[in-house]
Amino acid sequence: MDILELMKKDLERRRYSKRTVQTYLFCFHKFLNWIKKEPRKISKKDIEEFLQKLNNKGFSASTLNLYLQAIKYPLQYILNKRNIFVNLPFSKTPKKLPAFLTKEEIKLLIGSIGNLKHKLMIELLYSSGLRISELINLKVKDLEFDSNFGWVLGGKGNKDRLFIIAQKIKGKLQQYIKEQDLKYENLLFSGRRGMYSAASIQEIVKQATKKSKINKKVHPHTLRHSFATHLIEDGYSLVSVQSLMGHNSPETTMIYVHMAKPKIMDIKSPYDAL
């Protein structure tokens, strides 16, 4: 089995989206065609020269970073060549403030969804700050209602983290699990053909945005940005929000705030304050 096939299987096993799998395979395949080396013999210098070649052609910083991530993946996770990337800097991408919805817009968006199951999915997506991949992989056993939190297991970067369960949807989730007769190991949300696709969730959000007449470009990830922004607005500390978002560094979380005073308190979902 060649490196591209192994890479594809590993990405799918880790629940990367179909689009990400295709993009990573395309980028790495392009690199292999250029380097014309057996993957185990690839060096740091090879990678630097390839990225410099793309840079000279006018590729954007975000595209260079994408190629770097695609090249890193099979070398690190399949060939275990981790030291090759020590001190190899990421291509810097100009930072832009992400789009987010106001609290009133969140209420309009969620209120426009008629299908109760779809509504519950979007309520959970916003109220917990989950990524779309984390939502569709969530299982009944990951929810700890007595403690008002759930677990994201093997999330982005293969990390585990806690997420809060809003009081507003706690009872709805429990009732839904009971009505659907879901067992401990079952996916929390599934369609007729099994696991929901990211595209299905995107379509729900797209239709809700249209129906609620929100004049913004809204994606499922917009709800995650809104969750973080509303926590900051509600006075929660940067460190607390960083933990809930699963960010490696506070710098990533800083896009949601210019200045936040640290506080030690129990965190409630912003959805409970709407």
Q: Which of 118, 224, 225, 230 is catalytic?
A: 224
* CA distance linking residue 99 with residue 107, whole number of Å: 17
Query: At 156, which amino acid appears?
Result: K
Residue 131: active-site member: yes
Residue 19: active-site member: no
* CA distance linking residue 253 with residue 68, whole number of Å: 23
Residue 224: active-site member: yes
Q: Which of 29, 81, 139, 156 is catalytic?
A: 156
Residue 176: active-site member: no
Q: Which of 16, 73, 256, 271 is catalytic?
A: 256
Residue 156: active-site member: yes
Helix H or strand E segment including 161: strand 161-164
Residue 271: active-site member: no
Burial annotation 1-22 (CB, 10 A radius, 16+ → b, else e): eebeeebbeebeeeebbeebbe
Q: How many CB atoms lie within 10 A of CB 54?
A: 19
* CA distance linking residue 237 with residue 233, whole number of Å: 10
Q: What's the residue count for the chain?
A: 274
Q: 171 - beta bridge partners? A: none
Helices (H), 93-166: 103-111, 116-128, 132-136
Q: Which of 30, 211, 221, 268 is catalytic?
A: 221
Contacts of 65-71 spanning 24+ positions with Cβ under 8 A:
65/90, 65/91, 65/92, 65/93, 66/23, 66/27, 67/27, 67/30, 67/31, 69/24, 70/23, 70/24, 70/25, 70/26, 70/27, 70/28, 70/31, 71/27, 71/28, 71/31, 71/47
Q: Which of 72, 119, 131, 230 is catalytic?
A: 131
Which residues belong to the active site? 131, 156, 221, 224, 247, 256
